[in-house]
Amino acid sequence: MSEGTTTPPLRPPAPAKQGSHRRSIPLLGPLLALLALLLFNIFFTPNFLTAQTLNVNLTQVATIVIVGVGMTLVIATAGIDLSVGALMAIAGALAPMLFLNPPLGSPALGVALAFVLPVLAAGAFGMFNGLLVTRFQIQPFIATLVLFIAGRGIAQVLTNGQLQTFSNTSFQVIGLGRPFGIPVQVILMLVVVALFAWVMARTVFGRQILAVGGNERAARLSGVPVNRVKLAVYGISGLLSGIAGLIVISINSSSDANQVGLNMELDAIAAVAVGGTALTGGRATIVGTLLGALIIQLIRYSLLARGVPDAAALVVKAGIILLAVYVQRQRR
Amino acid sequence: MTHSEPLLQLEGINKAFSGVPALTDASLTVSAGEIHALIGQNGAGKSTLIKVLTGAYRRDSGVIRFGGAEVDFASPQAAQLGGISTIYQEVNLIPYLSLSENIFLGRERRRGPFLDWGRMNREARTLLERFDVQADVTRPLMGLSVAVQQMVAIARAVSIDSRLVIMDEPTSSLDDREVETLFGVIRQLGASGVAVVFVSHRLDELYAVCSGVTIMRDGRTVERRAMTDISKLELVASMLGKEPGELRREGETAFVKNHNQKGEELLEVRGVRSGPALRSASLDVRKGEIVGLAGLLGSGRTETARVVFGADALAGGEIKIAGQPATLRSPADAIRAGFGFCSEDRKIEGIVPDQSVRENLTLALLPELSRRGIVDAAKQNEIVERFIRRLGIKTTGPDQKIRELSGGNQQKVLLARWLCMNPKLLILDEPTRGIDVGAKGEIQALLSELAAGGLGVLMISSELEELAEGCDRVVVMRDGSSVAELTGDGLTQDHLMGVMAHGAAQAVPAAPQGGIQNHV
């Protein structure tokens, strides 16, 4: 380049900011909020610092986090997935059918299939969402509303509307197992969070998700396979919903198509929003979603521990979400 | 012209962003009815000064007087109520609403509790006629060209009774005729006592319409002159902070023609059609050649580029790559063939605003930077650092978000997005539009250098000097068809203008060497 035409720097070179410093800022808010909640409970809630309290809270939050991770990916592409709760119900309806009537009379095979097939089915339904969004260009809100409505119906048809109760220790490991005292679903939750935090940070797929959400037209012109990326995030959201569905029915020792995953889409979206992911797409933090879910869970726990009725706790929860999203907007 | 009390006076304005000064003792004075130019390179502080004035930013210190009183607007809305309206470079309208709805948004005409559509449509029509825009005011905005949308935005600002209208590069998406219409309106405004602050990178426009000029550099106001007192050369020199002598040696652009033997055929386009705007375009690009694509707005230039890059579907015609017939179903196909494309609109089709310089720069390269889907961070950083240095991208580092960069530096990142792929052919739609003179020169010099190294370039430009000095050949489009090709001595600004305006047949007779060939 000819230096002759180069103009002098417009401003003095700004002090080089460390990347890690800049990136840590978005999670600062949720982290501080979580810390404040923890401190509050440590001082004011009796028996808070016990393994049991920890386990109760983590067990309750695990499914929200697992579904929330899938939701984070979908929202990062500027989409939304309303069908997650219904997909949980479908997976929850399929699994008992498999291990209660094991194919080939093999209980082991029945349990193995009960872990795999319902999750794959939920994933396939997720891909169906993706197909509506990409091939048929339907807005994500409407596209996933289809299964939000129909999915629970499908689950009821599968079970003839009957409540399925069961006791099957090998299947219920996913909800009740505690290797080294740690609930299996908590381990699953941490694995899912770690895996997808890594996917977002290190893989081409993760980068392309953010590019699609940040500027779809620019992504397409840069050769990003926009439709494939979208199809994949809805599929992943479905798979993770399926896993969450299995956890819920094994905790309950029963599967009720009317109840499994009810309102899960709202809890998951709330966790994503509180965690600092932009609902407009293009910015996403998986760890933020984990923190968001923990914050909501701790608030609910703190209120219940003080004898505030669950109904009132819901109102407070909504208020906190509002506050969190407001704070996010301010920081922008 | 002498004016008594100035309408607007900004004095001693200081503003810093996290310790880095953006404005240092900046000032701006505009009299009532004056058309005043505000110029400077990107990053000189023009936009910051405007935002301080309209209340979008809080100033650290300084005084603003407007209409004789000291003012302190809390927000752009407050400034608008106070009589200052601003038209930004990017159109800020609502695509789904009709023209008259957009014009009267927020101050709808009513009859009792009901909207008075008849009156609004009538007033909108009268208003737009002043701008020579003939369009159905009840139609939604989104079907219309960017130029018409821009006119609507200006009409909206003008129809709010303002005493000062700020226009931030209002002409960047207008063709010559539309610019003339706009100037007519600006002069009308001036005559009726409304002051206009006019920000533009096109110097000719300033001389055509402005009476005074304020020049900014590095956050300071360096000069305030009457337009008649300052030559174009002095103006540029003052913006760049250089002596006029230094500039005179160079041409109008930083392109350097290389007269090497051109290489083999890269791209052959024959009679391509697509949609109503592209009826028949033909062109060739060889290795090491910069081919210009000229034409007025709406002549089918952009559509041609998009078809060649696989972004729009081909309705007819033929594209050959390296002599082989090719079918391009998507940009991904074109990228595999070694093409890169910088679109006309950086913000809408180029940058991913919330992502870092690093991610934006390597967006297209990512698949090649990875093994089994995992990005090789070390390799990525190495490439990003190299291109930041190579192109002189001014950034605090690879982690800085691209939306924080100036337009020129964003454009460099987008160029680097393709250059790091080692492309065979770069398709550039208005690569230097809306960026400062310095970055513009750097990009022009870079393109010459890359072409000398064997890269083929297909460049759309509205700037005649860029086409005449930068290109080996220029294909001229008119009404959706390529009508002529200018080469050698036939490639002059005058000829270009003639062909763009009248088509090849009536244009100047062909020059002895090279010349103008009619496309059939």
Provide the CA B39 distance to its chain's centre, in angstroms: 15
Same fold, B8-248 and B250-338+423-520: yes
- Other beta carbons within 10 Å of B228: 9
Residue B113, H or E segment:
none
Chain B residues lying within 8 Å of A224, measured CB to CB: 363
Confidence of residue A2 (pLDDT cuts 50, 70, 90): very low
Region B212-240 average pLDDT: 86
Residue entry with tokens 């226009």: B167
Find the residue in B nearest to A11 (Cα).
B218
Residue A1 belongs to some domain of the structure: no
Residue A9 belongs to some domain of the structure: no
Q: Tell me, what CATH number does A307's domain have?
A: 1.10.3470
pLDDT at B90: 61
Q: Which domain holds residue A236?
A: 50-331
* B331/A221 Cβ within 8 A: yes
Confidence of residue B491 (pLDDT cuts 50, 70, 90): confident
Q: List the single residue in A8, A219, A282 with the smallest CB-CB distance to B354.
A: A282
Q: If one looks up domain B250-338+423-520 in CATH, what number appears?
A: 3.40.50.300
Residue A42 belongs to some domain of the structure: no
DSSP bridge pairs for B223: B215
The tally of domains found in chain A comes to 1
Answer for the pair A251, A175: CB distance below 8 angstroms, yes or no. Answer: yes
Q: Which two tokens stand for residue B54?
A: 């309209």
Residue A316 belongs to some domain of the structure: yes
Farthest-apart Cα atoms in chain B, separation: 75
- β-pairing, B456-460 vs B324-325, is unpaired
Give Rg (Cα) of chain A.
22
Parse chain B into domains and list their residue ranges. Answer: 8-248, 250-338+423-520, 353-420
Confidence of residue A21 (pLDDT cuts 50, 70, 90): very low
Answer for the pair B300, B279: CB distance below 8 angstroms, yes or no. Answer: yes
What is the pTM for the complete model shown? 0.73
Residue A276 belongs to some domain of the structure: yes
Question: What gap in Å lies between CA B66 and CA B497, rounded to an integer?
Answer: 43
Q: State the smallest CA–CA distance between residue B285 and chain A in angstroms.
A: 21
* A5/B442 Cβ within 8 A: yes
* B43/A223 Cβ within 8 A: no
* B359/A5 Cβ within 8 A: no
Scan residues 323-352 of B and list those with Cβ closer than 8 Å to A. Answer: 330-332, 335, 341, 343, 348-352
> pLDDT by residue (tens digit) across A95-134?
999 998 888 878 889 999 999 999 999 999 999 999 999 9
Residues 6+ apart with CB under 8 A from A279: A75, A80, A272, A273
Find the residue in A nearest to B309 (Cα).
A221
Q: State the smallest CA–CA distance between residue A12 and chain B in angstroms.
A: 8
Residue A20 belongs to some domain of the structure: no
Q: Is B375's Cβ below 8 Å from some Cβ in A?
A: yes
A37 pLDDT above the threshold of 90: no
Q: Which two tokens stand for residue B206?
A: 């300033």
Find the residue in B nearest to A76 (Cα).
B354
Cα end-to-end distance, chain A, whole Å? 37
Q: Which two tokens stand for residue B492?
A: 């002059």
Q: Is B227's Cβ below 8 Å from some Cβ in A?
A: no
HSE, side-chain direction, 13 A CA sphere, residue B389:
6
* A5/B250 Cβ within 8 A: yes
Region B472-483 average pLDDT: 88
Scan residues 412-431 of B and list those with Cβ closer than 8 Å to A. Answer: 417
- Which residues on chain A place their C-beta less than 8 Å from a C-beta of chain B? 1-2, 4-17, 19, 22-23, 202-205, 207-208, 210-211, 214-215, 217-225, 278, 282-283
> pLDDT by residue (tens digit) across A281-290?
888 999 999 9
Residue A44 belongs to some domain of the structure: no
> pLDDT by residue (tens digit) across A247-263?
999 999 999 999 999 99
HSE, side-chain direction, 13 A CA sphere, residue B13:
29
- B8-248 classified as CATH 3.40.50.720: no
Residue A133 belongs to some domain of the structure: yes
Mean pLDDT of chain B: 85
